């Protein structure tokens, strides 16, 4: 493994830092102070800025107007976005675009992807199923029509920013038991969106499908398409957890370096320093497991276990790690961490949403154990 980033990947991270430098985490009402969503729409000015900086086309092929970079580059950008709690579906849009580009109909990809790169279209994905506990593809049934096209029935809950999306990627299962990805538009017949609010205060939706008809090219049915899209979404979420955790630890370092007790900064107290050091170790573990998973997905490199094993390890560290980082930050900030005029409580809410999205570490440990049992290591 070589975790040295290429010049192109480093340039993407630098461009992201420049775009996100003007974003304030408290640019919308606090989720602790409003009964519903903090805003009706995504951050459109930021979305336009991402398009202008070519960050929305980062992973698109040159024939679609993109730079042709990989998941590692996208994760570097996502890491920066989480440091400012950027309210844009960057992960979802890029992941769905990458799946359409790799597995979808070439004609549809040629129509949509250049517009995605220019910021004209917003994509999102439903990956939570009915409750977040069962496989998402089991929540929707895709039935082949007698002539041509498909009919979809079912629902996906907690779809991020679905109301702002132009296309929604919906995992589904065919009568033959194959997992596929259907692309639907929120305004088409049979699609109903019911408002939901995430733990972080963002506007999500329950997407219901009742006899929704799509043509053949709107169904991505290549072998492994849904599994690959799910891997992109999961690994990208781990990148968000890392960026958020790094921002929170930096915030905690600044606060404890200025806050004094008994005439000394609390950062000089051994118990405070030890807790901060433990969280730093968490972040470094989150980082190395993230790049391992992203590298395996991007390169298709062989390993002792399938790439799903590396993804499971990254999820274990991201889910538990981001929780530990924000809890320690709240503890070291004292009551100030809960002050709604101070941004830490916002990061705590976003961290909890990420943890819920990834699922409990114990479940990923069980999945990893199953992989180890199926692939005996020499």
> Is the whole model's pTM more than 0.95, yes or no?
yes
Please give the average per-residue pLDDT across 323-334, as a whole number. 95
**Angstrom distance (rounded) from CA 236 to CA 243:** 11
pLDDT on residue 180: 98
Residue 3 pLDDT exceeds 70: no
**Residues forming a β-bridge with 154:** 140, 209
Q: Quick one: pLDDT band at residue 378, thresholds 50, 70, 90?
A: low
Please give the average per-residue pLDDT across 110-125, as a whole number. 98
Tokens 């939901």 -> residue = 196
pLDDT on residue 55: 98
Q: Quick one: pLDDT band at residue 2, thresholds 50, 70, 90?
A: low
Please give the average per-residue pLDDT across 113-123, as a whole number. 98
- The rounded Cα 266 to chain-centroid distance in angstroms is 35
Residue 170 pLDDT exceeds 70: yes
The tokens of 331 are what? 């503890």
DSSP for 240-280, please give it: HHHHHHHHHHHHHHHHHHH-EETTEEGGGSHHHHHHHHHHH
- Alpha-carbon distances of 224 from 103, 364, 378, rounded to whole Å: 9, 20, 28
Residue 118 pLDDT exceeds 70: yes
User: 3-state SS string over 314-353?
Assistant: HHHHHHHHHHHHHHHHHHHHHHHHHCCCCCHHHHHHHHHH
Please give the average per-residue pLDDT across 153-176, as a whole number. 97
Asked whether 146 and 173 are in contact (CB, 8 A), the reply is no
* 261-305: pLDDT as tens digits: 888 888 878 989 999 999 999 999 999 999 999 999 999 999 889
Asked whether 167 and 121 are in contact (CB, 8 A), the reply is yes
* 23-61: pLDDT as tens digits: 999 999 999 999 999 999 999 999 999 999 999 999 999
pLDDT on residue 267: 81
Please give the average per-residue pLDDT across 13-22, as a whole number. 97
Average model confidence (pLDDT) across the chain: 95
Residue 259 vs residue 111, higher pLDDT: 111
- Alpha-carbon distances of 1 from 5, 9, 17, 296, 311, rounded to whole Å: 12, 16, 26, 10, 16
Please give the average per-residue pLDDT across 64-91, as a whole number. 98
Q: Give the residue from 175, 97, 176, 92 showing the smallest Cα distance to 126.
A: 92
Task: Report helix angle 307-333 to 361-374, nearest 10.
Answer: 160
Residue 351 pLDDT exceeds 60: yes
Please give the average per-residue pLDDT across 98-104, as a whole number. 98
Asked whether 69 and 179 are in contact (CB, 8 A), the reply is no
Residue 205 CB partners (closer than 8 Å, separation 6+): 158, 159, 162, 163, 193, 194, 195, 196
**Residues forming a β-bridge with 140:** 154
């Amino acid at each position: 493994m070589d975790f040295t980033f290429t010049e192109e990947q480093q340039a993407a991270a630098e461009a992201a830092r420049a775009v996100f430098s003007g974003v304030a985490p408290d640019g919308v009402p606090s989720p602790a102070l409003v009964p519903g969503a903090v805003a009706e729409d995504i951050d459109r000015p930021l979305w336009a800025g991402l398009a202008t900086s070519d960050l929305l086309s980062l992973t698109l092929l040159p024939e679609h107007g993109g730079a042709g970079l990989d998941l590692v580059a996208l994760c570097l950008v996502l890491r920066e976005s989480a440091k400012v709690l950027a309210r844009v579906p960057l992960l979802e849009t890029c992941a769905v675009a990458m799946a359409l580009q790799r597995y979808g109909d070439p004609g549809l990809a040629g129509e949509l992807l250049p517009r995605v790169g220019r910021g004209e279209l917003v994509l999102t994905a439903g990956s939570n199923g009915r409750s977040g506990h069962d496989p998402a593809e089991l929540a929707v049934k895709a039935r082949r029509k007698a002539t041509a096209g498909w009919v979809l029935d079912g629902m996906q809950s907690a779809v991020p920013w679905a109301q702002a999306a132009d296309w929604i990627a919906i995992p589904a299962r065919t009568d033959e038991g194959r997992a596929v990805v259907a692309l639907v538009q929120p305004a088409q017949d049979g699609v109903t969106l019911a408002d939901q609010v995430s733990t972080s205060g963002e506007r999500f939706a329950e997407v219901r499908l009742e006899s929704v008809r799509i043509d053949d090219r709107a169904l991505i049915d290549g072998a492994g398409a849904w599994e690959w899209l799910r891997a992109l979404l999961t690994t990208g979420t781990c990148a968000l957890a890392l960026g958020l955790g790094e921002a929170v630890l930096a915030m905690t370092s600044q606060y404890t370096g200025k806050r004094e007790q008994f005439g000394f900064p609390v950062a000089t107290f051994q118990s405070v320093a030890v807790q901060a050091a433990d969280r730093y170790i968490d972040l470094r573990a989150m980082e190395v497991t993230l790049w391992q998973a992203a590298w395996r997905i991007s390169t298709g490199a062989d390993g002792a276990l399938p790439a799903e094993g590396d993804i499971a390890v990254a999820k274990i560290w991201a889910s538990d790690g981001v929780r530990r980082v924000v809890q320690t930050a709240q503890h070291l900030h004292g009551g100030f961490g809960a002050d709604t005029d101070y941004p830490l409580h916002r990061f705590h809410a976003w961290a909890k949403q990420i943890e819920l999205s990834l699922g409990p570490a114990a479940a990923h440990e069980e999945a990893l154990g199953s992989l180890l049992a199926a692939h005996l290591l020499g």
